[in-house]
């Protein structure tokens, strides 16, 4: 099966889940779960409509600097019905569905030729929204970057976030990550293109992010974002080059170090020590970087350092109690120890409870079911992945493998479908060769049966 990292681990006691629950409970009291929605353009010319998404991008970059904020990832919005605009009702509904404590949204308006930002916020009080009044922010010509910084700091103060002076300075700095409005526009358009999650979208994102860098070669965030798009396309070397360019431009920006850790962790040569070094560097810069703790835990687990891995996962939950990635990592860890089958299943289910769209959790759960001979349950989970994303070659490959055990004819159909889908992809060449061998064997088996 694909995506599995078999490891020999020592037996874990049932105390681990209890410890994680305690840490998660403590974290809930300390953190604010915040949903940032796209702003709505009102009476803006077509060439200015990017400003609405620009406000959301600015806030996401800014508030990740606040230790007490846990941001809900933008991809989570895809699981919700998309309204025509994010008004009060739609914002409250999204916040409730995604379990947010607060939701930030608003409008960008042009009235009588003047541009202004109308920020809004809702706080969820026992699932009931309480609207927070915020003053409109006028935007003089050429002052959009300065106003983005002002809006971010206003939100931080409105939410009563405990910010030190250095925290507040970072919030303002990253709310306006470039001095060039043209560069920021290209960056925003590139991010929107990447959200489509398609080949065409990623190619458009690469072009737009390249323009952002041309307009401002010092634009660290754009360099990093370009690397993430290359990474999603499987261009590991190009991604690594962009991440390293980001670290050279600003050694105090932690995201590219974490991304490099991810590349090292998944490298064919198993560069676990380099991954640990990269994750540690990211955490030195931002000690509350939950995803970096998850990566560090994964790297430690890969080396068989179970206690260190669990300690990293505990810290991840301490800083982000809704981090489904932690539970996926625990599911993998438990899976490698056959005596912890139920703990593995429960960890994956917890991840899916937090994020029903989390593909890694769904695939991990399916793999555990398959290992235990629960083929119908495994098929159900793999099908959910493939139904949600028909181009998910990994899930389709695994689904074909499971069907070999229960329905050879259906397995043949799935192998044919996989080969057609994955055949043109260079990164799938080795897997396609294996799939062809499976297909040949099954066809011979069917011919002999007839």
Domain total in the chain: 3
**Residues 435 and 40 sit within 8 Å (Cβ to Cβ):** no
Q: Are residues 166 and 59 in the same domain?
A: yes
pLDDT in tens, 192-206: 999 998 889 999 999
State how far the Cα of 147 lies from the Cα of 114, in Å rounded to an integer.
14
Would you place residue 8 in the very low, low, confident or very high pLDDT band (cuts 50, 70, 90)?
Answer: very low
Residue 11's pLDDT is 39
pTM: 0.85
Q: In this structure, what token pair is assigned to residue 23? A: 């840490």
Task: For residues 36 and 77, state if they share a domain.
Answer: yes
Torsion angles phi and psi, residue 105, rounded to 5: -160, -170
In a domain, 262, yes or no: no
Q: Is 156 found in the same domain as 42?
A: yes
**Banded model confidence at residue 339, pLDDT cuts 50, 70, 90:** low
Is there a single domain that holds both residue 148 and residue 189?
Answer: no
Let me know whether 151 and 73 are in one domain: yes
**Residue range 282-294, pLDDT digits in tens:** 999 999 999 999 9
Q: Among 188, 210, 242, where does a domain finish? A: 242
Token reading at 351: 């991840």
Question: Which residue, 210, 242, 274, sits at the end of a domain?
Answer: 242
Query: Where in 248-400 does DSSP place strands (E)?
Result: none
Q: What is the CATH number of the domain that holds 150?
A: 3.40.50.10070
Average pLDDT over residues 5-17: 41
What number of other Cβ atoms are within 10 A of residue 395's Cβ?
26
Domain range for 217 is 180-242
Same domain, 139 and 197: no
Residues 437 and 349 in one domain: yes
Domain termination residue (choose one: 132, 157, 176):
176
Tell me: pLDDT of 273 over 50.
yes
pLDDT computed for residue 269 by the predictor: 86
Confidence of residue 251 (pLDDT cuts 50, 70, 90): very high
> Residue 124's beta-bridge partner residues?
129
Residue 93 to residues 57, 86, 124, 212, 259: CA-CA distances in angstroms? 21, 10, 10, 34, 33
Q: Exposed, middle or buried: residue 388 (CB in 10 Å: 0-12, 13-18, 19+)? A: middle
Q: How confident is the model at residue 26 (pLDDT cuts 50, 70, 90)?
A: very low
Residue 137 inside a domain? The answer is: yes
The answer to whether residue 291 is domain-embedded is no
Is 256 domain-assigned? no
Confidence of residue 106 (pLDDT cuts 50, 70, 90): very high
| Residue (of 131, 151, 148) closest to 187 by Cα position | 148
Helix, strand or coil for residue 295?
A: helix
Please give the residue that has the higher pLDDT: either 405 or 5: 405
**One domain for residues 162 and 198:** no
278 is a domain residue: no
CB 261 within 8 A of CB 287: no
What is the per-residue pLDDT for 413?
95
Over residues 232-237, the mean pLDDT reads 91
Residue 182 pLDDT more than 70? yes
Q: State whether 172 and 205 are in the same domain.
A: no
Contact 331, 344 (CB under 8 A): yes
User: 64 and 170: one domain?
Assistant: yes
Q: Is the pLDDT assigned to residue 3 strictly greater than 80?
A: no
What is the percentage of the chain residues whose pLDDT exceeds 70?
92
Contacts of 42-47 with C-beta under 8 Å, sequence gap 24+, read 42/107, 42/108, 42/109, 42/110, 43/109, 43/110, 43/111, 44/108, 44/109, 44/110, 45/110
Structure-block tokens of residue 405: 């055990």
* Per-residue model confidence (pLDDT) at position 287: 97
- Do 43 and 145 have their domain in common? yes
Task: Say if 269 falls within a structural domain.
Answer: no
Residue located via tokens 């798009």: 229
Nearest-10 Cα torsion for 9, 13, 17, 22: -120
> Does residue 277 fall inside a structural domain?
no
Q: Are 290 and 320 in contact (CB under 8 A)?
A: yes
Name which residue leads in pLDDT, 259 or 129. 259
- 439 neighbors 416 (Cβ within 8 angstroms): yes
pLDDT value of position 446:
86
Render pLDDT for 294-325 as a digit per residue (tens, 0 to 9). Answer: 999 999 999 989 889 999 999 999 999 999 99
Whether 365 and 440 map to the same domain: the answer is yes
CATH number for the domain spanning 405: value is 1.25.40.10
Given a cut of 50, is residue 25 above it in pLDDT? no
Strands 32-36 and 102-111: parallel
pLDDT, tens digit (0-9, with 9 covering 90-100), for 69-96: 999 999 888 888 889 889 999 999 999 9
Average pLDDT over residues 156-184: 95
145 pLDDT tier (thresholds 50, 70, 90):
very high
Q: Is residue 139 part of a domain?
A: yes
Q: Please tell me the predicted confidence (pLDDT) of residue 22.
A: 43
Task: Find the mean pLDDT for residues 372-390.
Answer: 93
């Amino acid at each position: 099966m694909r995506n599995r990292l078999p490891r020999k681990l020592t037996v874990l006691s049932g105390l681990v889940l209890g410890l994680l629950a305690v840490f998660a409970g403590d974290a809930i009291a300390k953190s604010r779960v915040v949903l940032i929605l796209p702003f709505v353009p009102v009476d803006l010319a077509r060439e200015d409509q990017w400003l609405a998404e620009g406000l959301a991008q600015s806030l996401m970059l800014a508030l990740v600097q606040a230790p007490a904020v846990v941001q809900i990832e933008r991809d989570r919005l895809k699981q919700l019905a998309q309204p025509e605009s994010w008004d009060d009702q739609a914002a409250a509904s999204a916040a409730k569905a995604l379990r947010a404590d607060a939701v930030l949204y608003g409008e960008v308006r042009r009235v009588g030729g003047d541009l202004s930002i109308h920020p809004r916020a809702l706080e969820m009080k026992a699932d009931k929204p309480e609207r927070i009044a915020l003053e409109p922010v006028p935007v003089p010509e050429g002052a959009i970057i300065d106003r983005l910084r002002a809006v971010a700091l206003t939100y931080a103060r409105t939410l009563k976030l405990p910010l030190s002076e250095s925290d507040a300075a970072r919030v303002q700095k990253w709310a306006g990550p470039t001095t060039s409005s043209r560069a920021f526009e290209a960056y925003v358009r590139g991010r929107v293109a990447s959200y489509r999650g398609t080949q065409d979208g990623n190619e458009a994102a690469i072009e737009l992010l390249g323009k952002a860098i041309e307009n401002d070669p010092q634009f660290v965030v754009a360099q990093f974002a370009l690397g993430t798009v290359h990474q999603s396309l499987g261009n590991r070397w190009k991604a690594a080059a962009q991440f390293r360019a980001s670290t050279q431009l600003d050694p105090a920006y932690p995201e590219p170090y974490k991304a490099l850790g991810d590349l090292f962790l998944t490298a064919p040569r198993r560069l676990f020590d380099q991954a640990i070094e990269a994750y540690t560097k990211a955490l030195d810069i931002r000690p509350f970087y939950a995803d970096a703790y998850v990566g560090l835990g994964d790297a430690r687990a890969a080396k068989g350092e179970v206690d260190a891995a669990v300690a990293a996962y505990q810290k991840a939950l301490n800083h982000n109690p809704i981090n489904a990635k932690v539970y996926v990592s625990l599911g993998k860890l438990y899976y490698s120890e056959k005596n912890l089958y139920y703990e593995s299943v429960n960890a994956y289910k917890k991840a899916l409870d937090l994020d029903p769209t989390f593909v890694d959790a769904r695939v991990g759960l399916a793999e555990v079911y398959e290992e235990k001979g629960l083929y119908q349950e495994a098929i159900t989970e793999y099908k959910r992945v493939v139904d949600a994303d028909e181009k998910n070659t990994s899930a389709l490959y695994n689904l074909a493998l499971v069907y070999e055990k229960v329905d050879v004819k259906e397995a043949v159909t799935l192998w044919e479908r996989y080969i057609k889908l994955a055949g043109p992809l260079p990164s799938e060449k080795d897997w396609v060769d294996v799939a062809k061998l499976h297909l040949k064997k099954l066809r011979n088996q069917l011919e002999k049966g007839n």
